Amino acid sequence: MPSSGTERELLLTGIGGQGVQLAAQLVARAAVIDHREVMLFGSYGGMMRGGNTDATVVVAEGPILAPPTVPFAWASIVMHHDYWSFVKERLRPGSLLLVNTTVFRGEIPRDGLHVFDIPATDIAVDAGNIMTASVVMVGALSALTGLVSLDALLEAVPQSLPPYRTKHIELNQAALRAGFGSVARDALPAWDGARC
């Protein structure tokens, strides 16, 4: 029986056009750069715009035991109020919740959760592109928790974009930095010690 180290589950949810899948890819690739094990499962509502899109990322110190869709998440990034109920029921007491306050409408239960209000879409617009809102969130997550390092995230950007999108590299790196700078550092460290 493999007994793994800590596994950190991250859920991302939003609607099409917010860059959720790219954000998830960035986290996953950054985790590899940080020499961690990682698993990512994404799903999105097909061809029509405005559909839901979500992703599960698990980062761990050893082989990952968690299945592709996890029952409970250590942290979550919520970009839009649609479809957030799926995330809600998977949060545990103590889970981390990053909310895109620019867009989110509705009540957020704050008892027992570590909630961070982040005006991600605003920050993204300021950083140059509204489409990078989710990437902003990932930058913030990195600052808050060190789940993945900022350096790794920055390095992951070119790997995660298709060849014909290389012109977007700097835009996304800027968004990461903007998000990273928008919150306190190490508020809730993901890992014991400091491997990265």
Q: Which residues bind other proteins (CB under 8 A)?
A: 1, 16-17, 25, 28-29, 31-32, 35-43, 46-50, 63-71
Between residues 65 and 187, which has the closer beta carbon with respect to other proteins?
65
97-111 core/surface letters (b: 16 or more CB in 10 A; e: else): bbbbebbbeeeeeee
Tell me how far, at minimum, the Cβ of 130 lies from other proteins, in Å.
12
Tell me how far, at minimum, the Cβ of 104 lies from other proteins, in Å.
18
Tell me how far, at minimum, the Cβ of 156 lies from other proteins, in Å.
9
Between residues 89 and 107, which has the closer beta carbon with respect to other proteins?
89
Tell me how far, at minimum, the Cβ of 65 lies from other proteins, in Å.
6
Between residues 32 and 188, which has the closer beta carbon with respect to other proteins?
32
Closest CA to 53 of 107, 95, 116, 11: 11
**3-state DSSP assignment of residue 70:** coil
**Gap between the terminal Cα atoms of the chain:** 28
Cβ 172 vs Cβ 134: under 8 Å? no
- What is the rounded CA–CA span in Å between residue 71 and residue 7? 13
Tell me how far, at minimum, the Cβ of 165 lies from other proteins, in Å.
13
Q: 46 Cβ partners below 8 Å, 6+ apart?
A: none
Between residues 67 and 109, which has the closer beta carbon with respect to other proteins?
67
- What is the rounded CA–CA span in Å between residue 3 and residue 106? 40
Between residues 50 and 181, which has the closer beta carbon with respect to other proteins?
50
CB atoms near residue 136 (< 10 Å): 35
